[in-house]
Amino acid sequence: MDDTNKTLKNLMDSNLYSRYSGLLSLSNISLLLVDTSGNILLEFNPSPDFCKFICQEDETRICSDYIARLKSGSGDRFICRHGLANILLPVDINNQTIGYVVGAQVYSTDSEYQKYLIDIMSIAKNKKLEPEFIAKSIATIKTIEENKLEIHEQICNHITQNISYDFSQSIHTADKAIARLSIEKEMLEKKIIDLEAKNMSLVINPHFLFNTLNSIARIAYFEKSHTTEELIYCLSDLLRYNLKHDDELHTIGAEMDNIEKYLYIQKIRYKNRLEYDIDIPDHIKAHRIPNMIIQPIVENALIHGITPKRDGGKIKIYAEENKNDINIFVVDNGNGFPTEVLKSLQQSENKLGIGFRSTDKRLKRYFGEQYGLKIEKSDYSGSTVTISIPTKPNAR
Protein backbone atom coordinates (compact mmCIF):
# COMPACT_ATOMS: atom_id res chain seq x y z
CA MET A 1 0.00 0.00 0.00
CA ASP A 2 1.50 3.40 -0.99
CA ASP A 3 1.68 6.49 1.29
CA THR A 4 -1.48 8.03 -0.21
CA ASN A 5 -3.59 4.97 0.59
CA LYS A 6 -2.09 4.79 4.09
CA THR A 7 -3.09 8.44 4.61
CA LEU A 8 -6.73 7.76 3.69
CA LYS A 9 -6.95 4.61 5.81
CA ASN A 10 -5.34 6.30 8.81
CA LEU A 11 -7.67 9.31 8.57
CA MET A 12 -10.80 7.14 8.61
CA ASP A 13 -12.56 6.63 11.91
CA SER A 14 -15.44 4.55 13.22
CA ASN A 15 -17.82 7.54 13.10
CA LEU A 16 -17.42 8.15 9.38
CA TYR A 17 -20.62 6.29 8.48
CA SER A 18 -22.78 7.79 11.24
CA ARG A 19 -21.53 11.28 10.36
CA TYR A 20 -23.35 11.07 7.03
CA SER A 21 -26.25 8.81 8.04
CA GLY A 22 -28.73 11.69 7.65
CA LEU A 23 -27.84 12.11 3.98
CA LEU A 24 -27.51 8.38 3.40
CA SER A 25 -31.06 7.77 4.63
CA LEU A 26 -32.29 9.76 1.63
CA SER A 27 -30.96 7.29 -0.92
CA ASN A 28 -30.58 3.50 -0.97
CA ILE A 29 -28.36 3.51 -4.07
CA SER A 30 -24.77 2.24 -3.72
CA LEU A 31 -22.08 4.58 -2.40
CA LEU A 32 -18.54 3.44 -1.50
CA LEU A 33 -15.27 4.97 -0.38
CA VAL A 34 -12.20 3.46 -2.08
CA ASP A 35 -8.48 4.18 -2.07
CA THR A 36 -6.44 5.18 -5.12
CA SER A 37 -5.86 1.52 -6.01
CA GLY A 38 -9.56 0.68 -6.00
CA ASN A 39 -9.65 -1.16 -2.68
CA ILE A 40 -12.97 -0.71 -0.88
CA LEU A 41 -12.46 1.00 2.48
CA LEU A 42 -16.09 1.63 3.45
CA GLU A 43 -19.52 0.73 2.06
CA PHE A 44 -21.89 3.58 2.91
CA ASN A 45 -24.57 1.83 0.82
CA PRO A 46 -23.61 -1.62 -0.57
CA SER A 47 -23.13 -2.43 -4.23
CA PRO A 48 -25.67 -4.65 -6.03
CA ASP A 49 -24.92 -8.37 -5.81
CA PHE A 50 -24.31 -8.44 -9.56
CA CYS A 51 -21.48 -5.89 -9.24
CA LYS A 52 -20.08 -7.38 -6.04
CA PHE A 53 -20.01 -11.08 -6.92
CA ILE A 54 -19.83 -11.06 -10.71
CA CYS A 55 -18.14 -7.90 -11.97
CA GLN A 56 -15.58 -7.41 -9.18
CA GLU A 57 -12.52 -9.64 -8.99
CA ASP A 58 -13.25 -9.99 -5.29
CA GLU A 59 -15.51 -8.34 -2.71
CA THR A 60 -12.78 -6.00 -1.47
CA ARG A 61 -12.00 -4.28 -4.77
CA ILE A 62 -14.14 -2.33 -7.26
CA CYS A 63 -14.61 -3.62 -10.80
CA SER A 64 -12.23 -3.10 -13.72
CA ASP A 65 -14.51 -0.49 -15.33
CA TYR A 66 -13.84 1.75 -12.32
CA ILE A 67 -10.15 0.82 -12.04
CA ALA A 68 -9.53 1.96 -15.62
CA ARG A 69 -10.90 5.43 -14.75
CA LEU A 70 -8.95 6.09 -11.53
CA LYS A 71 -7.02 9.21 -12.53
CA SER A 72 -5.76 11.72 -9.97
CA GLY A 73 -8.06 14.74 -9.66
CA SER A 74 -10.48 13.41 -12.26
CA GLY A 75 -14.15 12.55 -11.70
CA ASP A 76 -16.47 10.80 -14.09
CA ARG A 77 -20.04 9.66 -14.66
CA PHE A 78 -20.04 6.72 -17.03
CA ILE A 79 -21.96 3.71 -18.30
CA CYS A 80 -20.26 0.37 -17.63
CA ARG A 81 -20.04 -2.53 -20.06
CA HIS A 82 -23.32 -3.93 -18.75
CA GLY A 83 -25.20 -0.62 -19.17
CA LEU A 84 -25.24 0.54 -15.51
CA ALA A 85 -24.83 4.23 -14.65
CA ASN A 86 -21.84 4.88 -12.36
CA ILE A 87 -20.42 7.87 -10.47
CA LEU A 88 -16.73 8.41 -9.67
CA LEU A 89 -15.57 11.44 -7.63
CA PRO A 90 -12.03 12.12 -6.32
CA VAL A 91 -11.34 12.92 -2.66
CA ASP A 92 -8.66 15.61 -2.84
CA ILE A 93 -6.47 17.22 -0.18
CA ASN A 94 -4.07 20.01 -1.24
CA ASN A 95 -4.54 19.10 -4.92
CA GLN A 96 -3.62 15.47 -4.21
CA THR A 97 -6.17 12.68 -4.72
CA ILE A 98 -6.18 10.35 -1.71
CA GLY A 99 -9.23 8.25 -2.67
CA TYR A 100 -12.59 8.21 -4.44
CA VAL A 101 -16.27 8.15 -3.68
CA VAL A 102 -17.96 5.80 -6.14
CA GLY A 103 -21.52 4.63 -6.53
CA ALA A 104 -24.90 4.49 -8.30
CA GLN A 105 -24.56 1.16 -10.19
CA VAL A 106 -28.14 1.36 -11.43
CA TYR A 107 -30.02 1.30 -14.71
CA SER A 108 -31.76 4.39 -16.00
CA THR A 109 -35.21 3.99 -17.52
CA ASP A 110 -33.57 4.40 -20.95
CA SER A 111 -30.89 1.75 -20.41
CA GLU A 112 -32.87 -0.87 -18.47
CA TYR A 113 -33.29 -2.99 -21.60
CA GLN A 114 -29.58 -3.81 -21.47
CA LYS A 115 -30.07 -6.11 -18.48
CA TYR A 116 -31.90 -8.47 -20.82
CA LEU A 117 -28.89 -8.56 -23.17
CA ILE A 118 -26.45 -9.92 -20.56
CA ASP A 119 -25.14 -13.35 -21.55
CA ILE A 120 -25.94 -15.29 -18.38
CA MET A 121 -24.61 -18.66 -19.59
CA SER A 122 -21.27 -17.18 -20.67
CA ILE A 123 -20.81 -15.46 -17.30
CA ALA A 124 -21.82 -18.65 -15.46
CA LYS A 125 -19.15 -20.57 -17.33
CA ASN A 126 -16.39 -18.00 -16.80
CA LYS A 127 -17.20 -17.29 -13.15
CA LYS A 128 -18.18 -20.88 -12.28
CA LEU A 129 -21.49 -19.67 -10.83
CA GLU A 130 -25.01 -21.03 -11.08
CA PRO A 131 -27.04 -19.35 -13.88
CA GLU A 132 -29.97 -18.99 -11.46
CA PHE A 133 -27.84 -16.91 -9.06
CA ILE A 134 -26.69 -14.65 -11.89
CA ALA A 135 -30.25 -14.20 -13.17
CA LYS A 136 -31.50 -13.27 -9.68
CA SER A 137 -28.66 -10.80 -9.14
CA ILE A 138 -29.45 -9.12 -12.48
CA ALA A 139 -33.15 -8.92 -11.58
CA THR A 140 -32.36 -7.08 -8.32
CA ILE A 141 -30.39 -4.25 -10.01
CA LYS A 142 -32.36 -1.05 -9.45
CA THR A 143 -33.83 1.08 -12.23
CA ILE A 144 -34.32 4.76 -11.34
CA GLU A 145 -35.39 7.99 -13.03
CA GLU A 146 -32.77 10.50 -14.14
CA ASN A 147 -33.78 13.12 -11.55
CA LYS A 148 -33.25 10.62 -8.71
CA LEU A 149 -29.83 9.77 -10.12
CA GLU A 150 -29.02 13.50 -10.10
CA ILE A 151 -30.09 13.73 -6.45
CA HIS A 152 -27.82 10.77 -5.62
CA GLU A 153 -24.97 12.50 -7.46
CA GLN A 154 -25.54 15.59 -5.30
CA ILE A 155 -25.29 13.39 -2.21
CA CYS A 156 -22.05 11.82 -3.53
CA ASN A 157 -20.61 15.27 -4.32
CA HIS A 158 -21.44 16.62 -0.90
CA ILE A 159 -20.07 13.60 0.96
CA THR A 160 -16.90 13.78 -1.16
CA GLN A 161 -16.39 17.44 -0.26
CA ASN A 162 -17.11 16.75 3.41
CA ILE A 163 -14.64 13.88 3.53
CA SER A 164 -12.00 16.09 1.88
CA TYR A 165 -12.55 18.82 4.46
CA ASP A 166 -12.77 16.35 7.35
CA PHE A 167 -9.45 14.82 6.37
CA SER A 168 -7.99 18.26 5.73
CA GLN A 169 -9.03 19.24 9.26
CA SER A 170 -7.25 16.18 10.63
CA ILE A 171 -4.09 17.43 8.96
CA HIS A 172 -4.46 21.23 9.07
CA THR A 173 -7.30 21.85 11.61
CA ALA A 174 -9.43 23.79 9.11
CA ASP A 175 -12.17 24.72 11.59
CA LYS A 176 -13.83 27.42 9.46
CA ALA A 177 -14.18 25.12 6.48
CA ILE A 178 -15.79 22.43 8.66
CA ALA A 179 -18.29 24.91 10.10
CA ARG A 180 -19.21 26.11 6.62
CA LEU A 181 -19.66 22.56 5.32
CA SER A 182 -21.84 21.70 8.30
CA ILE A 183 -24.22 24.49 7.25
CA GLU A 184 -24.09 23.36 3.63
CA LYS A 185 -24.82 19.77 4.72
CA GLU A 186 -27.94 20.90 6.56
CA MET A 187 -29.07 22.95 3.57
CA LEU A 188 -28.51 20.04 1.17
CA GLU A 189 -30.42 17.62 3.42
CA LYS A 190 -33.33 20.04 3.52
CA LYS A 191 -33.21 20.54 -0.24
CA ILE A 192 -33.27 16.82 -0.97
CA ILE A 193 -36.11 16.14 1.47
CA ASP A 194 -38.07 18.99 -0.12
CA LEU A 195 -37.42 17.56 -3.60
CA GLU A 196 -38.78 14.20 -2.46
CA ALA A 197 -41.81 15.87 -0.87
CA LYS A 198 -42.57 17.61 -4.18
CA ASN A 199 -42.79 14.25 -5.95
CA MET A 200 -40.39 15.22 -8.69
CA SER A 201 -40.72 11.81 -10.32
CA LEU A 202 -44.14 12.85 -11.68
CA VAL A 203 -43.53 13.50 -15.36
CA ILE A 204 -47.11 14.24 -16.46
CA ASN A 205 -47.95 17.95 -16.54
CA PRO A 206 -50.08 18.50 -13.42
CA HIS A 207 -52.38 21.01 -15.16
CA PHE A 208 -53.14 18.47 -17.87
CA LEU A 209 -53.85 15.87 -15.20
CA PHE A 210 -56.19 18.12 -13.21
CA ASN A 211 -58.03 19.35 -16.30
CA THR A 212 -58.53 15.77 -17.46
CA LEU A 213 -59.84 14.68 -14.08
CA ASN A 214 -62.26 17.60 -13.96
CA SER A 215 -63.50 16.79 -17.47
CA ILE A 216 -64.15 13.20 -16.41
CA ALA A 217 -65.97 14.48 -13.31
CA ARG A 218 -68.26 16.64 -15.45
CA ILE A 219 -69.07 13.65 -17.65
CA ALA A 220 -69.89 11.65 -14.52
CA TYR A 221 -72.20 14.47 -13.39
CA PHE A 222 -74.16 14.50 -16.65
CA GLU A 223 -74.38 10.71 -16.51
CA LYS A 224 -75.72 11.05 -12.94
CA SER A 225 -72.78 9.04 -11.55
CA HIS A 226 -72.50 11.21 -8.45
CA THR A 227 -70.21 8.90 -6.45
CA THR A 228 -67.77 8.79 -9.37
CA GLU A 229 -67.96 12.57 -9.69
CA GLU A 230 -67.19 13.07 -5.99
CA LEU A 231 -64.36 10.53 -6.13
CA ILE A 232 -62.68 12.29 -9.06
CA TYR A 233 -62.96 15.74 -7.47
CA CYS A 234 -61.45 14.34 -4.26
CA LEU A 235 -58.56 12.80 -6.20
CA SER A 236 -57.97 16.05 -8.09
CA ASP A 237 -57.89 18.09 -4.86
CA LEU A 238 -55.65 15.49 -3.20
CA LEU A 239 -53.10 15.57 -6.02
CA ARG A 240 -53.15 19.36 -6.18
CA TYR A 241 -52.45 19.64 -2.46
CA ASN A 242 -49.72 16.98 -2.51
CA LEU A 243 -47.93 18.69 -5.40
CA LYS A 244 -47.73 22.12 -3.79
CA HIS A 245 -44.23 23.45 -4.37
CA ASP A 246 -44.00 25.91 -1.50
CA ASP A 247 -42.16 25.23 1.72
CA GLU A 248 -44.56 27.16 3.94
CA LEU A 249 -46.47 25.96 6.94
CA HIS A 250 -50.10 25.00 6.32
CA THR A 251 -52.95 24.98 8.80
CA ILE A 252 -53.80 21.74 10.53
CA GLY A 253 -57.30 22.28 9.21
CA ALA A 254 -56.03 22.22 5.60
CA GLU A 255 -54.04 19.06 6.34
CA MET A 256 -57.14 17.42 7.78
CA ASP A 257 -59.26 18.37 4.75
CA ASN A 258 -56.63 16.69 2.59
CA ILE A 259 -56.57 13.57 4.78
CA GLU A 260 -60.35 13.36 4.79
CA LYS A 261 -60.32 13.27 0.97
CA TYR A 262 -57.63 10.58 1.07
CA LEU A 263 -59.65 8.44 3.49
CA TYR A 264 -62.83 9.01 1.47
CA ILE A 265 -61.10 7.58 -1.61
CA GLN A 266 -59.81 4.61 0.41
CA LYS A 267 -63.28 4.08 1.89
CA ILE A 268 -64.68 3.69 -1.64
CA ARG A 269 -62.01 1.06 -2.26
CA TYR A 270 -62.27 -0.91 0.98
CA LYS A 271 -66.00 -0.31 1.70
CA ASN A 272 -66.98 -1.76 5.10
CA ARG A 273 -63.44 -2.87 5.85
CA LEU A 274 -62.43 0.72 6.63
CA GLU A 275 -64.00 3.13 9.10
CA TYR A 276 -62.48 6.46 10.10
CA ASP A 277 -63.12 9.32 12.50
CA ILE A 278 -61.46 12.74 12.55
CA ASP A 279 -61.93 14.87 15.66
CA ILE A 280 -59.83 18.06 15.67
CA PRO A 281 -61.04 21.00 17.82
CA ASP A 282 -61.57 24.21 15.86
CA HIS A 283 -59.03 26.17 17.93
CA ILE A 284 -56.32 23.62 16.99
CA LYS A 285 -57.14 23.69 13.26
CA ALA A 286 -55.77 27.21 12.99
CA HIS A 287 -52.28 26.15 14.10
CA ARG A 288 -49.72 25.48 11.40
CA ILE A 289 -47.70 22.43 10.38
CA PRO A 290 -45.51 21.51 7.35
CA ASN A 291 -47.62 20.05 4.55
CA MET A 292 -47.78 16.29 3.95
CA ILE A 293 -46.80 15.43 7.54
CA ILE A 294 -49.90 13.58 8.73
CA GLN A 295 -50.95 11.71 5.58
CA PRO A 296 -47.90 9.34 5.49
CA ILE A 297 -48.71 8.30 9.07
CA VAL A 298 -52.36 7.66 8.16
CA GLU A 299 -51.22 5.71 5.10
CA ASN A 300 -48.94 3.56 7.29
CA ALA A 301 -51.85 2.83 9.62
CA LEU A 302 -53.94 1.72 6.64
CA ILE A 303 -51.24 -0.38 4.94
CA HIS A 304 -49.66 -2.05 7.98
CA GLY A 305 -52.57 -2.03 10.40
CA ILE A 306 -55.96 -2.18 8.70
CA THR A 307 -55.57 -3.92 5.34
CA PRO A 308 -53.89 -7.11 6.68
CA LYS A 309 -56.97 -7.80 8.84
CA ARG A 310 -59.71 -9.78 7.11
CA ASP A 311 -62.45 -7.64 8.67
CA GLY A 312 -60.52 -4.38 8.36
CA GLY A 313 -60.62 -1.81 11.13
CA LYS A 314 -60.86 1.84 12.13
CA ILE A 315 -58.52 4.82 11.98
CA LYS A 316 -59.09 7.64 14.45
CA ILE A 317 -57.33 11.01 14.27
CA TYR A 318 -57.66 13.46 17.12
CA ALA A 319 -55.67 16.28 18.70
CA GLU A 320 -55.08 17.71 22.17
CA GLU A 321 -53.44 20.90 23.37
CA ASN A 322 -51.19 20.58 26.42
CA LYS A 323 -49.75 23.88 27.67
CA ASN A 324 -47.40 25.00 24.88
CA ASP A 325 -47.63 21.82 22.81
CA ILE A 326 -50.13 20.25 20.43
CA ASN A 327 -50.26 16.47 20.09
CA ILE A 328 -51.97 14.90 17.09
CA PHE A 329 -52.78 11.20 17.49
CA VAL A 330 -53.21 8.69 14.66
CA VAL A 331 -54.75 5.55 16.16
CA ASP A 332 -55.79 2.32 14.47
CA ASN A 333 -57.15 -0.98 15.79
CA GLY A 334 -55.29 -3.05 13.22
CA ASN A 335 -52.54 -5.65 13.62
CA GLY A 336 -49.80 -3.18 14.52
CA PHE A 337 -46.60 -2.72 12.54
CA PRO A 338 -44.95 -5.97 11.42
CA THR A 339 -41.90 -6.76 13.56
CA GLU A 340 -39.42 -6.02 10.77
CA VAL A 341 -41.07 -2.67 9.99
CA LEU A 342 -41.16 -1.68 13.67
CA LYS A 343 -37.47 -2.54 14.06
CA SER A 344 -36.59 -0.50 10.97
CA LEU A 345 -38.35 2.54 12.41
CA GLN A 346 -36.42 2.21 15.66
CA GLN A 347 -32.98 1.74 14.05
CA SER A 348 -31.75 5.07 12.77
CA GLU A 349 -29.33 3.58 10.24
CA ASN A 350 -31.71 1.02 8.76
CA LYS A 351 -32.69 1.69 5.16
CA LEU A 352 -36.35 0.85 5.80
CA GLY A 353 -38.71 3.36 7.37
CA ILE A 354 -37.06 6.24 5.52
CA GLY A 355 -40.40 8.05 5.05
CA PHE A 356 -41.08 7.98 8.80
CA ARG A 357 -37.63 9.36 9.66
CA SER A 358 -37.79 12.01 6.93
CA THR A 359 -41.09 13.24 8.34
CA ASP A 360 -39.62 13.28 11.85
CA LYS A 361 -36.60 15.25 10.59
CA ARG A 362 -38.80 17.82 8.86
CA LEU A 363 -40.68 18.46 12.12
CA LYS A 364 -37.45 18.74 14.12
CA ARG A 365 -36.00 21.10 11.52
CA TYR A 366 -38.98 23.41 11.83
CA PHE A 367 -39.73 23.22 15.55
CA GLY A 368 -36.73 21.77 17.42
CA GLU A 369 -35.43 18.42 18.64
CA GLN A 370 -38.10 17.99 21.32
CA TYR A 371 -40.82 17.74 18.65
CA GLY A 372 -41.52 15.16 15.95
CA LEU A 373 -43.01 11.68 15.65
CA LYS A 374 -43.28 8.98 18.27
CA ILE A 375 -44.70 5.45 18.13
CA GLU A 376 -46.61 5.32 21.42
CA LYS A 377 -47.66 1.69 20.93
CA SER A 378 -47.82 -0.99 18.27
CA ASP A 379 -49.11 -4.48 19.05
CA TYR A 380 -51.87 -6.93 18.14
CA SER A 381 -54.51 -4.42 19.33
CA GLY A 382 -53.35 -1.65 17.00
CA SER A 383 -50.93 1.26 16.76
CA THR A 384 -50.76 4.82 18.06
CA VAL A 385 -48.42 7.40 16.51
CA THR A 386 -48.11 10.88 18.00
CA ILE A 387 -47.15 14.02 16.10
CA SER A 388 -46.01 16.78 18.46
CA ILE A 389 -45.62 20.46 17.52
CA PRO A 390 -45.46 23.72 19.53
CA THR A 391 -48.43 26.09 19.78
CA LYS A 392 -46.15 29.00 18.84
CA PRO A 393 -43.62 27.72 16.30
CA ASN A 394 -40.46 29.49 15.35
CA ALA A 395 -40.06 28.20 11.79
CA ARG A 396 -36.46 27.55 10.88
Give the lowest-confidence range in 57-66, 171-180, 221-230. Answer: 171-180
Q: What is d(CA 117, CA 170) in angstroms, rounded to the nearest whole number?
A: 47
Give pLDDT, residue 22. Answer: 65
Give the confidence band of 350 by pLDDT, cuts at 50, 70, 90: very low
Identify the three-state secondary structure at position 127: helix
pLDDT at position 396, please? 42
CB contact at 8 A, 356 and 378: no
Residue 205: is it exposed, middle or buried by C-beta count within 10 angstroms (0-12/13-18/19+)?
exposed
Band (68; pLDDT cuts 50, 70, 90) = very high
In this prediction, residue 88 has a pLDDT band, given cuts at 50, 70 and 90, of very high
> Of 8-17, 54-63, 101-110, 123-132, which range is least confident?
8-17
pLDDT tens digits along 21-31: 666 767 788 99
What pLDDT score was predicted for residue 202?
44
Task: Give me the pLDDT at residue 228, please.
Answer: 76
145 or 19, greater pLDDT: 145
**Comparing 140-144, 186-190, 293-297, 371-375, which segment has the lowest mean pLDDT?**
186-190
Spacing of C-alpha 181 from chain mean position = 22
pLDDT at position 192, please? 58
Q: Are 77 and 153 in contact (CB under 8 A)?
A: yes
pLDDT tens digits, one per residue of 150-178: 888 888 888 888 888 777 766 554 444 44
**CA separation for the pair 58, 346 (Å, rounded):** 34
Q: What is the pLDDT of residue 384?
A: 93
- Average pLDDT of 86-114? 90
Contacts of 145 (CB under 8 A, 6+ apart): 108, 109, 201, 203
Mean pLDDT check: name the lowest of 141-145, 160-164, 263-267.
Answer: 160-164
Per DSSP, the residues of 148-204 read HHHHHHHHHHHHHHHHHHHHHHHHH--HHHHHHHHHHHHHHHHHHHHHHHTTTT--S
Q: What is the pLDDT of residue 127?
A: 87
Cβ atoms within 10 Å of 100's Cβ, excluding its own: 29
How many CB atoms sit inside 10 A of residue 162's CB? 23
Average pLDDT over residues 46-60: 88
pLDDT bucket at 352, cuts 50 / 70 / 90: very low
Residue 300 has pLDDT above 60, yes or no: yes
State the amino acid at position 172 in one-letter form: H
pLDDT for 201-226, tens place per residue? 444 455 555 566 666 666 666 767 77
Q: How large is the average pLDDT for residues 42-71?
A: 89
Lowest mean pLDDT among 6-10, 90-94, 330-334: 6-10
What percent of the chain clears pLDDT 70, i.e. is strictly above it? 73
Residue 27 has what pLDDT?
A: 78
The whole-number average pLDDT for the span 250-256 is 89
Length of the chain: 396
Percent of the chain with pLDDT over 90: 27
Q: State the average pLDDT over residues 284-291.
A: 88
Question: If you average pLDDT over every residue of the chain, what do you get?
Answer: 79
Any residues with CB less than 8 A from the CB of 187 and at least 6 apart, and which? Answer: none
CB 32 within 8 A of CB 89: no
Q: Does residue 62 carry a pLDDT above 60?
A: yes
pTM metric for this prediction: 0.47
